[in-house]
Structure 1
């Protein structure tokens, strides 16, 4: 009789569990990738089932740049996105009803990669004058963060955007490699682990690496928000609890990252798109030499907001961008927390 009771209880528990899972709310999230180190926490959230812990079912939609992911958000194909905070600001300045609700990085996570035949010929950014630089894809309503960072580096070297040709080069290993190998571009504002992989195969060389938070701070004047979580104003207003759950999902993901080694993180990502276990040794080396790329929670760092806002104003393309204050669109989903 006891065995029967236990069996019935187990059966009822399974039914309750299945019922709970069936009620999980589907969240469509647009993100550049897959396989980019910048947006690694997004794919890790799926891998460690941080979404399930919040009663969510996270579905990822991949794009070749933050502006394309933002367009997907604005067209209501997704309700959340993770993109570069400067790209989000650019979209907001163009009147897109987008709100940034959390940060997922604390460095300008890009590498400037040269075609292999230019190694030894181009020693600094100033020598890129007259050449073609590939960046993540922009749209009519938003410039990509990598494009703004490219323009920032050019300005620091005494050049401006008119001194080079800016070309969309995508945001995947295959797209960036193809652009370099096919000589569509002379250099790419690339993502890791693609940059280190290409350099290790002698298919390209790295001119500048900003994945190291200290190097990024020195160049930009403080901590920098690259990857940021965002949603539309209508979602934030009408489905605030869902926004809070998504924020908590990423808190759980970042905390999991903070308590596990780089190798354990990669082991979890083994079945995720863009994370090939055969290439993990390269990714592992990048993560180990840059251990503080990600925050421990997605609550805003006020210093990082100020640095990123100052950067954005310095790279403003028009009056709408130069007059935009980040306080107009930077929020926290939890009302008791202030940015």
Structure 2
């Protein structure tokens, strides 16, 4: 059973414990990569994975796993595809275009209320990795989420995880979701442009967009959720975000392939935990730095604390996510969610062994 697997894994976790920059974000939406050489080599079963932004540091394990050769080492032919927002990756998965999605775990809860059975098979993170940025022009008007009322707030896409988290921060601070305007601005250059033009007063985004905004002095950090501590302060607990999630039916029918995928990702997470941001940046595609290797490495360094070292779902993480979603989402607030069906630790346990 998945619940018993979770309990066993928490015990095992105790033993285990001893994007381009913004100028490339739009290009990444059309990027496809297969195998270490760019072409499928026919080894093993072909797997397509849609990533909610290949160039985003929060989803870095996807491309890094490929660059390290760990998919090939497991005998897999993995094709990585990219969409600018996690909600679009979710759509690609549910429609059957891909077998897996790299995106936020919270989509699994949302989909369950819609009759879709999807589960996280390996958890990349225990914090959102998200940052609420206030435009330099609006810095005097917005000093906390209490000031969101009447403001235009940027999110990657409507129904995305940035949309979810923005609504939670508002409601938690006494602002109803009807009292501000969410604006879908994507990430990278479109987010930066929205700040510059005043299309948004503030917005939620990730590195390397955060690093670029701060370098250009276009905005300041209001809420930083790139670390477990930041997640605790903003959300009241660990918030598992980036993950590989798949349709439960597909997982149950392809366990050997899923195990190989999880093996590869767990190797990457362990590798990340023992290497510096500069070393990680050096492994990523050259164009991700867009000529500023220092800025890109700093973006990685700022986000590294969000990642797990073993792919294990953090204890009480699902409960925090459920609490956040129930605060503003009427579909989830009035629904009974079986959290044990939103993730499995079966594969990370075996990968640890």
TM-score range, shorter-chain basis? Answer: 0.7 to 0.9
Q: Deviations over 1:221-262 (max 9, x none)?
A: 221101121111231121111111111111011011112111
Q: Deviations over 1:84-126 (max 9, x none)?
A: 1112311221122322212111112111112221233322222
Q: Deviations over 1:23-81 (max 9, x none)?
A: 24322101111311111111111111111111112211111211110110111110011
The structural deviation recorded for 1:330 is 1.6
What does residue 81 of structure 2 align with?
Answer: 61
What does residue 315 of structure 1 align with?
Answer: 328
Q: Deviations over 1:113-143 (max 9, x none)?
A: 12221233322222221111111213xxxx3
- The answer to whether residue 215 in structure 2 is matched with residue 195 in structure 1 is no
Q: Is the 8 A contact 1:29 1:78 kept in 2?
A: yes
Question: Counterparts of 1:1-339 in structure 2 under 5 Å?
Answer: 21-138=41-158, 143-170=159-186, 172-271=187-286, 275-289=288-302, 291-318=304-331, 322-334=335-347
Change (3 A) 1:123 1:103: same
**CA–CA distance in 1 between the matches of 2:280 and 2:332?**
43
**CA–CA distance in 1 between the matches of 2:232 and 2:139?**
26
**CA–CA distance in 1 between the matches of 2:184 and 2:177?**
14
Structure 2 unaligned blocks of 5 or more:
1-39
Instruction: Please give the TM-score of this superposition, normalised by the length of structure 1.
Output: 0.85
The structural deviation recorded for 1:297 is 1.3
**CA–CA distance in 2 between the matches of 1:64 and 1:92?**
23
Q: Is the 8 A contact 1:93 1:320 kept in 2?
A: no
Change (3 A) 1:266 1:336: closer
**CA–CA distance in 1 between the matches of 2:152 and 2:197?**
13
Q: Is the 8 A contact 1:90 1:321 kept in 2?
A: no
- Higher-Rg structure is 1
Q: Is the 8 A contact 1:240 1:333 kept in 2?
A: no
Structure 1 unaligned blocks of 5 or more:
1-19
RMSD (CA atoms):
2.2
Aligned residue pair count = 311
Q: Is the 8 A contact 1:224 1:307 kept in 2?
A: yes
**CA–CA distance in 2 between the matches of 1:120 and 1:279?**
31
Instruction: Please give the TM-score of this superposition, normalised by the length of structure 2.
Output: 0.82
